[in-house]
Amino acid sequence: MATKAHINASARYNRQMTKQYNLRLNINTDADVIAKLDAQESKRGYIIELIRRDIRESD
């Protein structure tokens, strides 16, 4: 079990060093996107790679 100090340190790190984005998809109109994401082992890695590829191609 995490100590209060560990929880506070993690929360402080998250506030200072991370940013969170949430995405809500419609199961009817976004079914293709949902299926593709569900097929990925790492959704985060897949999305980051797509964005980085787009950045490289737009330069």
Per-residue pLDDT tens over the stretch 3-23: 999 999 999 999 999 999 999
| pLDDT at residue number 59 | 84
Question: Is 53 contained in some domain?
Answer: yes
Q: Is 48 part of a structural domain of the chain?
A: yes
Domain around 43? 21-59
Nearest C-alpha neighbor of 21 from the set 59, 55, 51:
51
Tell me if 4 is assigned to some domain: no
- What residues have CB less than 8 Å from 10, skipping those under 6 apart? 2
Is 38 part of any domain? yes
Q: Is residue 57 part of a domain?
A: yes
Q: What is the mean pLDDT of the chain?
A: 97
Let me know if residue 25 belongs to a domain. Answer: yes
Mean pLDDT, rounded, for 21-27: 97
Query: What's the mean pLDDT in 28-51?
Result: 98
- Total domain count for the chain? 1
Q: Does 16 reside within a domain? A: no
Could you tell me the two tokens for 19? 């940013």
If pLDDT is split at 50, 70 and 90, which confidence band does 1 have? confident
